[in-house]
A and B are shown apart, each in its own frame.
Chain A
Amino acid sequence: MKITAKDVAYVADLANLELTEAERQSMLRDLNSILEYMDRLNQLDTANMHPVATCTEERSNGAAREDILEGLRKSLSREVALQNAPDTDGKFFRVPKVIERQ
């Protein structure tokens, strides 16, 4: 599958990355060479295979538990939760206005 500059722009948008022009060029080159290599997976017949996430799932009792309240676990205080934030008003994380994209 050959990637085009348009694909790079589309994927960068999905990934929330504002790439520079130079980055777009090298990304085009790198992605194409890597994806070409990935195509060899098509040599394998996987028609009867289920997708595998992890091979040890049974031993962790699955990742879900019963939907019951296990008691209140300690939560981070508001002060601590805001500690690493670039901008807050003391109560909330503060960010630029959300503006609809055209």
Chain B
Amino acid sequence: MDLRSLTIEAARSAIQERKTTATALAEEHFANIEKLDPQIGAFLTLSHKRALAKAAEIDDLAAMGEKLPPLGGVPVAIKDVMVTRGVRTTAGSKILSHYVPPYDSTAVARLEAAGAVVLGKVNCDEFAMGSSNENSAWGPVRNPRDLSCVPGGSSGGSAAAVAADMAVAALGSDTGGSIRQPASFCGVVGLNPTYGRVSRYGLIAFASSLDHVGPITKTVKDAAIVLGVIAGRDAMDSTSADVPVPDYLSELGKPVRGLKLGIPGEYFGEGLDGEVRKAVEAAIEKLAQQGCDIVPISLPRTKYAVPTYYIVATAEASSNLARFDGVRYGYRAKDAHTLAEMYCRSRDEGFGPEVKRRIMLGTYALSAGYYEAYYLKAQKVRGLLAQDFEEAFKQVDAIVTPTSPTAAFKLGEKVDDPLAMYLADIYTVTANLVGIPGISVPCGETKDRLPIGLQILGKHFDEATVLKVAHGFEQAQA
């Protein structure tokens, strides 16, 4: 079977119609992984047994002529920040080199209940902290479109696996852009749902008020299918929303004519690469041709988003990562004489430099004497940013921007300047701070053939409109 452009629909119907089997499909993907992954570095752990057991289950259903579940036989990859029972989960860190979780993330469990075949765990920046997948303790991931470039991060492995046809779909996580930006850099689709739309149970926590789980896929329709499977209230995650899950697919085909799309001037200013600007402006023109109303808007506090994000995220991370202390799981330093020494050395030896930097920043921001100046201040600015979006959404149905100021940069280009790396998140962090959904869809290439992403942001729990606009654009390109 030709794995290129194999979508969820195509995979599932091929199995249903007995043109292939789930087992054959899984094996073809494993073969492709073996062939390509030594150069890319996307996979950390393969789960052959689990994959083939699920594939056999699906093949039995197909053989009996039973209707397959929505993801029946579809090979997927799971970002290594999501726990999988019995399958090593490292969060991209040495501190969890040998950690084998005793339970599954809700999102993974729902994928498998819908028939998905989990091929394995994919590489990511350590504890999801990074924008290039260069912060993984297990080595960087390379962009399948240009191996000298980064795939983006932190879900670099997820995006690369899908872009290289080593998986049909993947789960990623997005705290400040970690689904959307790698999707943009690798030329695939990445959906960051509303905060609370998808359960975070089983997602190793980075920043609890900013983390989102979402799909990375080859098409917008595939993203809609996966979202429909993983979304919905979960008793195990008290922050998961008690909001009904609509039929996302039924909205997709509807025309986008008459929808109002806001274009914020602040996202098209200094720092935006010329080629990215051209591609995004052409995309907006395409949407206008399809009958959308293009409305210039302003999101005045945009320039405060990055510092706000890096205070809130690091503060929450410093708290969440306190659990890694060498006691119950994970790395424990040898020959520690006291409990305190064990904690401090285990953490210093087990965590990578970016993680330590963020823990230090976050601890400082929360410490006595600084809590008000930093964390409390940032949480108030967050309210102001939310106001910007509330105002904008009174006038428009969705907001359209570039996903990232540039296309994929070279490996090693930004590692020595953490602040420069943080500043590149400018277009994506706002969505997480405010909790709104956003998608990145491919909208062109640079002259070096590097993918460029178009970002569409929507109102809380309005993934349907976000998907509709994205789908409309995607179809217009075809």
Which positions in A face B, CB cutoff 8 Å? 1, 3, 7-8, 10-12, 14-20, 23, 26-27, 30-31, 33-35, 37-38, 40-44, 46, 49-56, 59-65, 76, 80-81, 83-87, 93, 95-99, 101
Contacts and interface: CB of A to CB of B under 8 A. Distances in A.
A55 to B, nearest CB: 4
Contacts, number: 189
Contacts of B238: 60, 62-65
A98 B339 contact: yes
Contacts of B359: 15, 17
Contact of B363 (A15, A34, A50, A95): A15
Contacts of A99: 337-340
A40 B383 contact: no
Given A30-B357, A30-B418, A52-B383, 15 more contacts: A10-B367, A11-B363, A14-B363, A16-B340, A33-B419, A38-B307, A40-B304, A41-B378, A44-B384, A46-B383, A53-B209, A54-B209, A84-B328, A86-B332, A101-B340
B100 interface: yes
Interface of B: 98-100, 102-103, 194-196, 209, 238-243, 301, 303-304, 306-308, 310-311, 318, 322, 325-332, 336-345, 347-348, 351, 353, 356-357, 359-361, 363-364, 367, 370, 373-374, 376-384, 386, 418-419, 422, 434-436, 460-461
Nearest to A84: B329
Given A8-B360, A86-B332, A55 B348 contact: no
A14 B328 contact: no
25 contacts: A1-B370, A11-B360, A15-B347, A16-B322, A16-B343, A16-B344, A30-B357, A31-B360, A34-B310, A35-B364, A44-B301, A46-B377, A53-B379, A56-B196, A59-B461, A64-B238, A65-B238, A84-B102, A84-B330, A86-B327, A86-B330, A86-B331, A87-B332, A96-B341, A97-B338
A63 to B, nearest CB: 4
A10 to B, nearest CB: 8
Contact of A56 (B241, B306, B345, B379): B241
A35 B86 CA distance: 41
B383 A56 contact: no
A65 B360 CA distance: 33
Given A38-B310, A53-B209, A86-B332, A95 B384 contact: no
